[in-house]
Amino acid sequence: MSFIQVEKVWKEYDDQIVLEDLSFEIEARAFLMLVGPSGCGKTTFLRMLLGEEAPTRGRILIDGKPLVAEPDSDRGVVFQRYSVFPHLTALRNVMFGAELAQAPLLGRLFGAKRRAVEDKARVLLAEVGLAGSEDKYPAALSGGMQQRLALAQALMRRPKVLLLDEPFGALDPGIRSDIQALMKRLWNETHLTVVMVTHDLPEAFRLGTRILAFERSRNRPEERARYGAGIAKDIEIWPPRIAGGKPFTSPGRDDPAARGAEPGRPGLQAS
């Protein structure tokens, strides 16, 4: 059984059909890249996976169960911008989700519970290269640092699925390739299934195990609103690893040239 099953999913807003009859499956631990022209429904699809939007028809199953129609800790998300809270420090941004889950009324924990959450948040911040920035507010962090903070925030609740909507789209090329390498390493070391939207095809090939291209196949202006996008291409790049398999640890992992490379997958590197 596949980890995520998308069954005959349609999404319509009023009389506009955005997505039309999507059916596909996503294996556990896949790194699926979604590409397609602007407005074809990529974000809409991610929001359905997140549970923020419901399909008009059809259904989505995660682990064989119909998706809960609200965001939960199974799914973490990072958007292109505005994923972090500007009024919280980096540390509190990462702690926030866990605090809210454990203390829904106050949104704050105390004592040993707080220390446990804080320790975990500090480890994650270090993981994404933000040790030393714990007490800074997002406005004092660069764009790349803010996106790494958003990644730490999304990873804090150990989601099974990480949804990324052009998370690196606004970053400079150098910073972008660093954060791609980081993302690939995190994916290698955890059991995450990642679904990521990008406009950048080289990025899709560098990071993904599979690329799905959404497209409206009928583009005549008079019928535009009546047809949604479907899957135009489904490219398998590398077989997803087996669920529950050993995390990949390569001796050369910290070597930038080896970072992100799969064993037996020369030439496809994340940096």
Ligand X SMILES: Nc1ncnc2c1ncn2[C@@H]1O[C@H](COP(=O)(O)OP(=O)(O)OP(=O)(O)O)[C@@H](O)[C@H]1O
The nearer residue to ligand X, 50 or 145, going by C-beta atoms, is 50
Cα distance between residue 97 and residue 93, in whole Å: 8
Give the one residue of 41, 167, 208, 260 binding ligand X; rule: CB under 6 A: 41
Tokens of 21: 């009859």
Give the one residue of 1, 38, 139, 266 binding ligand X; rule: CB under 6 A: 38
Give the one residue of 43, 147, 153, 193 binding Mg ion; rule: CB under 5 A: 43
> Which residue is nearest to Mg ion, using beta carbons?
43
Cα distance between residue 233 and residue 38, in whole Å: 16
Residues paired with residue 229 on neighbouring β-strands, in sequence order: 19
Indicate whether 216 belongs to the interface with ligand X (CB under 6 A): no
The nearer residue to ligand X, 143 or 169, going by C-beta atoms, is 169
Residue 46 beta carbon to Mg ion: minimum distance, rounded to whole angstroms: 8
C-beta atoms surrounding 220 within 10 Å: 8
Contacts 24+ apart (CB under 8 A), 52-56: 53/11, 55/9, 55/10, 55/11, 56/10, 56/11, 56/12
Residue 228 beta carbon to ligand X: minimum distance, rounded to whole angstroms: 9
Residue 224 beta carbon to ligand X: minimum distance, rounded to whole angstroms: 9
Which of ligand X, Mg ion, none has residue 245 at its interface (CB below 5 to 8 Å by kind)?
none
The nearer residue to ligand X, 43 or 146, going by C-beta atoms, is 43
Indicate whether 205 belongs to the interface with ligand X (CB under 6 A): no
Give the one residue of 28, 35, 40, 211 binding ligand X; rule: CB under 6 A: 40
Indicate whether 44 belongs to the interface with Mg ion (CB under 5 A): no
Residue 53 beta carbon to Mg ion: minimum distance, rounded to whole angstroms: 13
* Residue carrying the six token digits 């939207």: 197
Number of alpha helices (DSSP H) and beta strands (DSSP E) in the chain: 6, 10
How many residues belong to the site for ligand X (CB under 6 A)?
A: 10
Indicate whether 209 belongs to the interface with Mg ion (CB under 5 A): no
DSSP 87-145: TS-HHHHHHHHHHHHHSTTTS---HHHHHHHHHHHHHHHHHTT-TT-TT--GGGS-HHH
Residue 48 beta carbon to Mg ion: minimum distance, rounded to whole angstroms: 13
Give the one residue of 5, 44, 83, 146 binding ligand X; rule: CB under 6 A: 44
Q: In what order do the strands lie in the sheet with 4-13?
A: 16-26, 4-13, 57-62, 65-66
Positions touching ligand X (CB under 6 A) are 13, 18, 36, 38-44
